[in-house]
Amino acid sequence: MEFLEWDAVDVSEALTAGRLSAVELMQATLARINGVNGAVNAVLSLRDEEELLAEARAADAAPRRGWLHGIPMAIKDLADAKGLPTSQGSPLFAGQIAQEDDPAVARLRAAGALIIGKTNTPEFGLGSHTFNPVHGATHNPYNLTRSAGGSSGGAAAALAARMLLVADGSDMMGSLRNPAGWNNVYGMRPTWGAVPGDPAGDLFMHQLSTLGPMARSPRDLAALYDVMRGSDARLPLSVEGADCASVLIGDLPKQRIGWLGDWGGAFPCASGILDLSEAALQQMAGLGHDVTSIAAPFDADAMWYSWTTLRSFAVAASLGAIYDDPNRREHLKPAAQWEVARGQGFSGIEIQRASSIRSDWFRAAMKAFEDVDVLVLPSAQVWPFDVTEVHPTEINGVAMDSYHRWMQVVVPASLIGLPVVNIPAGFDDRGLPHGLQLIGKRGSDARLLQLAEDWHRATGLPQAVPPKL
């Protein structure tokens, strides 16, 4: 089962060369899930073993369809995978079976992935802590008493625990970054529009969330992104995205890095977060990159107003019909009810004001990128917290005034659709993982992956420090 430790692209090469069979890989994957998932609770709705082994045998006998051919994957439980339930962590949808694949899932299947089940998520993906009344909480493999983050917490924990080689996820407010940082893996929020979402409903207004890949190496991250990306004629704001896997071969460019710290004191951080971040940046400087501390380029309060207004407006659009039905509203968790109530209360002028602030921040960010290639922030402002908590209520004595205020550090990239690659950045003295956000201007996804690859060649943290399960 040592191949469960390998990069997915190396496993793919072994499958292609016949040194490994899809059946052997499936057997090892299921054995690992059976061995550790009971403690971690990351993989859900696991399909019948005999059905999966039959699919693996068919994959061994068939021509290879893509680099994922024969590789088991589990899909985040917010996305539809045909034949599997999509609960979204809500009792309202528990047991609902998807009739079709979402576009990104269809691309994974077309590249040969074998879909074995789902990965856990918070209810409707709200909150960076993976727990819900349908499937319970996902535990951090590095400390089972701690949160795995969210909303792609199941995906990140399954990767860290060697139950999956690669995983998909989604990110509105750090959901591919916070859990990656807390599980010592890589997560990528692509340039907005590069990975197609569901073409149903409104196609223009709510540009906040995106799908993306997670992996234990930048090579795997890039390879999975290349499968998921690409414009979709049904989505008018989608973009093609650049090929990324090919740019990680050979020498890598040195880059100008701007460290934003705590955004001039606007983002309170738990003790040790900034120190560990700065130690990682010093190591990057030792690799030849130009690292400079820079001032916050925009007002944090204005950005927070814009984000919380547009986010609540978007959540109200997606969950408003449930909220408006008194018999169904009670099944929404308090955070969801709060978001919808806020979103339904805004005037058109308030939405326009929030959008104008968003535009001002985009212009300021593009100005900042004249002097640096990459902006860097911590992946989270706190360490993985007790898995039984709902969310942090204070950081260093500063009260958090909402269920998601403690994740304010992810808003600068999310608000204007910038690409971000989370890299593992080390551990505190309790063995809890931490990550850094590498943020680039739109379309610089490949450039960010090159910096992540340079870091990975020097550190290899996911392989050097696996969880002890």
Helix/strand/coil for 74: strand
Q: Examine the residue annotation and report whether 76 is marked as an active-site residue of this protein.
A: yes
Q: Which residues contact 303 (CB under 8 A, 6 or more apart)?
A: 357, 361, 411, 412, 415
A 10 A CB-CB count for 347 gives 8
SS3 sequence, 109-141? HHCCCEEEEEECCCHHHCCCCCEECCCEECEEC
Q: Examine the residue annotation and report whether 402 is marked as an active-site residue of this protein.
A: no
Quote the distance between the C-alpha of residue 189 and its chain's center.
Answer: 6
Choosing from 147, 151, 209, 217, which is the catalytic residue? Answer: 151
Total count of residues recorded for the chain = 469
**Phi, psi at 315, each rounded to 5°:** -65, -40
Q: How many CA atoms lie within 13 A of 413 on its CB side?
A: 39
What is the bridge-based pairing of β-strands 374-378 and 433-439? antiparallel
Residue 465 corresponds to which amino acid?
A: V
For residue 403, CA distances in Å to 31, 291, 308, 383, 398 come to 37, 33, 11, 16, 14
Q: Is 50:291 a contact under the CB 8 Å cutoff?
A: no
Q: Is 77:120 a contact under the CB 8 Å cutoff?
A: yes
Q: Helix 103-110 vs helix 218-228: angle between axes, to the nearest 10 degrees?
A: 110
DSSP state of 386: B
Q: How many CA atoms lie within 13 A of 187 on its CB side?
A: 36
A 10 A CB-CB count for 340 gives 24
Helix/strand/coil for 222: helix
Choosing from 12, 76, 147, 306, which is the catalytic residue? Answer: 76
Choosing from 152, 170, 175, 444, which is the catalytic residue? Answer: 175
Of the chain, the end-to-end C-alpha distance in Å amounts to 15
Tell me the C-alpha distance between 230 and 226, whole Å.
8
For residue 114, CA distances in Å to 49, 233, 395 come to 12, 26, 42
Q: Examine the residue annotation and report whether 151 is marked as an active-site residue of this protein.
A: yes
CA angle 203, 206, 209 (to 5 degrees): 105
Closest of 239, 374, 381 to residue 294, by C-alpha: 374
Residues recognised as catalytic: 76, 151, 175
